[in-house]
Amino acid sequence: MAVTAGSTAETVEAVFRIESARITAGVARIVRDVGIAEELAQDALVAALEQWPESGVPEKPGAWLMATARHRAIDLVRRRETYARKLAEVGRSLEDVPPPGPEDLGDPDDIDDDLLRLIFTACHPVLSREARAALTLRLLGGLTTDEIARAFLVSEPAVAQRVVRAKRTLAKAGVPFEVPGGADREARLSSVLEVIYLVFNEGYAATAGDDLCRPGLCEDALRLARVLANLMPGEPEVHGLLALLEFQASRIAARTGPGGEPVLLADQDRSRWNRMLILRGAEALLRAGRGPYSVQAAIAACHARAVRYEDTDWAAIAALYGRLLELTPSPVVELNRAVAVSMAEGPEAGLRLVDALAAEPVLRGYHLLPSVRGDLLARVGRDEEARAEFRRAASLTRNARERELLLARAAPSPSGPAPEG
């Protein structure tokens, strides 16, 4: 047995990853700019990498980093003040944010509010969805631009630029570092939830590329949802989103076969569903509300509760999709409801609903429409038509793994089950 202690550099990096969001948030409150705040946090990391190998890792490494970054932030604000004063002396005014007073420096231990402000700022609607996702993963998920690039299958420089531009946009728009109150609050919270949901989904149903699923991204999103639920325990829809993601994540291991091929919900080995995540989902669902994420979580719970596929309560799922349609009307939700109805009442009932959607322009090019229709046709014995639909679905999907599965079903053979993962 060798006695090892990870190298100091490894320790410093681990400490920094744990603390970076909190430090960035605590510093952003002082400098009122998340871009500058992140740089100051990085500066503190560099200082630690220089000093700790000599001086040893401090007793409270997080507090050391925070204090270092805050000192630098206060210095910077003072320098700005001095600069503004000097400029004013030579008779020019400066459009600058008012320097923070001592009351703005806040209690270093009370960082939760700052973290929440950081989340709301990173998810501000002034930014594009891609920019929100990249910035949130960078500032709150602690991902490097390289990790984000790999997760979203884009180049590293593209992500770096996206992040830089997002910070600039926030600064230019003068987005205040705050959690909005009043009428604005709900819309802004939706924007935060949407970012986390989209990041999870990008990992869960990879829209392109060779892998069906990129679990790392799902876990990053799940962690963000867990953080948010702890920061906003009184928001039912936050718990709804958390419940939904815990349930979805519980199935990840069972969704791909040994060769990386997709395994349909009906065929999944349910003993591989993660019980701990299902329990966590059920716990979060108890605190959920009546909004769209909460309803989707309730649907996911129906699947999780079924020990065998045959035990699935499709009538309950169809009813929940009906409720979801009232909250967020969309052809995609209608398609899902059609699948549930076909399981509850028979394939003909489902087919009637799907055929009504065939003309829906939004679904043109959406591979799941022909995929579902093919499945229903196969179940009523219209095999030839079913295979044509599977061929069409295969030509529409951008995911290589899904295409293989669809082409296999387009070949003359007995048909499989519903297309939900």
Site residues for other proteins per CB under 8 A = 6, 10-11, 13-15, 17-18, 59, 61, 112, 142, 216, 219-220, 222-227, 230-231, 253, 276, 280
Q: Is 366 left (phi over 0), alpha (psi -120 to 50) or beta?
A: beta
- Considering the complex, state which of residue 166 and residue 228 has its C-beta at the smaller distance from other proteins: 228
**Partners of 399 in beta bridges:** 209
**Partners of 271 in beta bridges:** none
- Considering the complex, state which of residue 245 and residue 297 has its C-beta at the smaller distance from other proteins: 245
Least distance (Å) between residue 384 CB and other proteins? 39
Q: What one-character DSSP code corresponds to residue 209?
A: B
C-alpha span between 100 and 140 (Å, rounded): 24
Least distance (Å) between residue 170 CB and other proteins? 24
- Considering the complex, state which of residue 60 and residue 364 has its C-beta at the smaller distance from other proteins: 60
Least distance (Å) between residue 152 CB and other proteins? 17
Residues composing the chain? 421
- Considering the complex, state which of residue 133 and residue 225 has its C-beta at the smaller distance from other proteins: 225
- Considering the complex, state which of residue 11 and residue 51 has its C-beta at the smaller distance from other proteins: 11
Least distance (Å) between residue 58 CB and other proteins? 11
Least distance (Å) between residue 293 CB and other proteins? 17
Least distance (Å) between residue 277 CB and other proteins? 9
- Considering the complex, state which of residue 123 and residue 227 has its C-beta at the smaller distance from other proteins: 227
CA dihedral (190, 195, 200, 203) in degrees, to 10, reads 150
For the stretch 316-351, what's the b/e string if a residue is b when 16 or more beta carbons lie within 10 angstroms of its beta carbon? bbbbbbeebeeeeeebebbbbbbbbbbbbeebebbb
For the stretch 54-90, what's the b/e string if a residue is b when 16 or more beta carbons lie within 10 angstroms of its beta carbon? eeebeeebeebbbbbbbebbbebbeeeeeebeeeeee
- Considering the complex, state which of residue 95 and residue 110 has its C-beta at the smaller distance from other proteins: 110
Least distance (Å) between residue 9 CB and other proteins? 10
Q: Which long-range contacts (CB under 8 A, 24 or more apart) does 231-235 make?
A: 231/112, 231/115, 231/116, 231/119, 232/116, 232/189, 233/287, 235/189
C-alpha span between 50 and 34 (Å, rounded): 24
HSE at residue 141, side-chain half, CA atoms within 13 A, is 29
